[in-house]
Amino acid sequence: FKVVSIATPHVMDFGAEALEDTITSLGWYQVKTVGAGLTPEAASEPAWVDVKTAKVAFLAYAHGDAFARDSAGVISRAVYSEMIEAVKRVAQGADLIVVSIYWGKARQTEAVSERQRFFAHGLIDAGADVVLCQRLHTWQGTELYRGKPVIYSLADFIYETYDKQYSKVVLPKVTFADRALKSIELIPIWVDNPDAKYQPQVLSGEGAQEALANYRKLCAELGTQVTITDERGWIKPE
């Protein structure tokens, strides 16, 4: 990992000192953080990552809820107008822009809401190249909007105490060429192996086919075609 969003509801569960420790500890391993900080200015700063010849900007936000009541000024809030302006600002110096949002209620439905689509489409219209979202314990599909991917929610990856509804999910590997989307490779993974806790594993065989088939259904609801070949799924622009 080179960058991690910490714009999550529980980031202030143990106070500002623990948040500072988290940011410092990740920094020791050259992992950049985005979406939260010790000041409002730090929380809203983008993270910049060089990938080959491209300069990639990451922005991260969270929609507030009961868990986040003590995090005013610490988490970058998912305020529509502020996100749009931030994307426009970083677009002046970025080759690619990835916007992450933590939002929505847990497992109320797998369907993508109109509010989610409104936010995601607005960010791409403003200049984002990927909108990568997380909705609490929920799995939702990927949509291509104006040739850019909106990944609505990937469920849980590493989570200690929750009885996972979605134990076989996917990781999307998004590839660009000259700022145009080339492909999204869907890598099926198992996140609930009782013999290797907190260690997601790449799936093969029937498990891989199950995960990919389930994700293909979620994507089809958003008008996105997924092709499955050799235990991998593929989304490609038309």
> What would the pLDDT profile of 7-59 be if each residue is shown by its tens digit?
988 888 898 899 999 999 999 999 999 999 999 899 999 999 999 889 999 99
Percent of the chain with pLDDT over 70: 92
Q: For residue 195, what pLDDT band results from cuts at 50, 70 and 90?
A: confident
Using CB atoms within 10 Å of the CB of residue 107, give its burial: 0 to 12 exposed, 13 to 18 middle, 19+ buried. middle
Q: Which helix (H) or strand (E) holds 81?
A: helix 80-90
Q: What is the mean predicted confidence (pLDDT) over 156-173?
A: 84
Strands (E), the chain: 3-5, 32-34, 47-51, 54-62, 96-103, 130-135, 139-145, 148-154, 168-177, 180-190, 201-202, 227-229, 232-235
In which band, very low, low, confident or very high, does the pLDDT at 193 lie, cut at 50, 70 and 90? confident
Q: What is the three-class DSSP state of 146?
A: coil
pLDDT band for position 65 (cuts 50, 70, 90): low
